[in-house]
Structure 1
Amino acid sequence: MPNFTLPRPARLTRTHKVSAALVATAGCAAALAFTAAPSDAETTAAHAPAAVKPVSANGLPMTAKDRADDGKQARAVASSVAAGLKVTAVEKQNHAADQAANRSIERKAVVAPKAAPKAPKAPKATPKRYANNLDGWIRESLDIMKDKGIPGSYEGLHRNIMRESSGNPNAVNDWDINAINGVPSKGLLQVIQPTFDAYHVAGTPHKLTDPIANITAAANYAADRYGSIDNVDSAY
């Protein structure tokens, strides 16, 4: 038989014994603590939130490659946003410049319209003047007759005036039947007062011996009775 030499038993020193005792004591205390409150530990573990693991678009747990790609995408988005902000600022500056230019152009284009020249005032019509004689009286009477629509001519008036009064506006017939009846004929065309009152032309003096009033009233009466003073060749 071979000779075997048994190892010599290790000698435990005082220090080794004290250390072993401390380890044993600590182990027992831990065992007692774990045994004394098993339900609390279980409750804590049951209520502790499970760690949330990121998932990819397909619902599977996200791998390291997915996380790396996602990080790249986030950085790309951030870069785009930053670039977008810069572009927007430039656009705002350009837009403000365009608006300022447009306002400047508009102000230059707006020109106050020139006032239309006022039309010259029509000169006031100078009143027509007539000679204070038979010719003037006939001409003024003809203008009034024309305005009132009373027919008659210069020749017709002049002819009858010369026969009736010889052109005297104050002539009075004191011998005919009218004079006998108290209403003598007077004026250039020898008109009695009732006839003058009935055929007086508005706008002329209401006086039997006024030349213009006498001629126009007689012409108005002759137009009513004979169609025109031109048709009268004798007493009327």
Structure 2
Amino acid sequence: MPRHARKPSSRARRFLAGGAVTTGTLVLACTATGAAQAATAAPTGKTAYTVQAGDHLASIARSLHVPGGWQAIASANHLASPYIIRTGQVLTLPAGSASATSAPSATKAATAKTATAKTTTVKTTTVKTATAKTATASTGTYTNNLDGWIKHSLAIMAKNNIPGTYNGIHRNIMRESSGNPKAINLWDSNAVKGTPSKGLLQVIQPTFDAYHVPGTSSDIYDPVANITAACNYAYHRYGSIDNVNSAY
């Protein structure tokens, strides 16, 4: 459920999911991918930032120490869900955000160091996961249940450098749908707008379409596709599905 939407008590929340009662929703926060770079001072006294390839609101807020976080950037630029930003777009950052004059050498060095470490980690993880996935696929050991769906999704996520753990995914699935891949929310504001939240991680169709991972099913109710798209969304919005502990 969007954080600005009115949220009823937990006892009042019910989902029509083939007879099952489920809770929770997922909404879209569409952004590019990567790390934010240094900003420049704007004439107004605030900070102007030009969106780079690979940026998303959360990464910009973290890198430039934006007071109020990504929500403050969205508010300052009148961005509303799905919070889409594009390469080359100039954003106004709240006063107090870091600028190009804030220790540029140190910033570049830290960024380069982080990028190098990230590349090494991703490469190692990808190689190991690809090997494991091949062995698993050949023996057909992905079971057609929640455990198998999560493990299959994790293999695809690793291949696409999407972070997340079994426990983080399982915790959010149990909160969002109680493990029912056919769960659907027919009561909240998204449902009223015609985009009800669906599947294991309660994704609305625009979110699923924007963060769908190639190679997975295009069916939003497909368990593996639903999990993988939701984790891809959580990666770009929160850094990882592991960082999500409540409504997205």
Output the TM-score relative to the length of structure 1.
0.47
Point out the structure with the larger helix share: 1
Q: Which has the higher contact order (CA 8 A, sep 6+)?
A: 2
Point out the structure with the larger strand share: 2
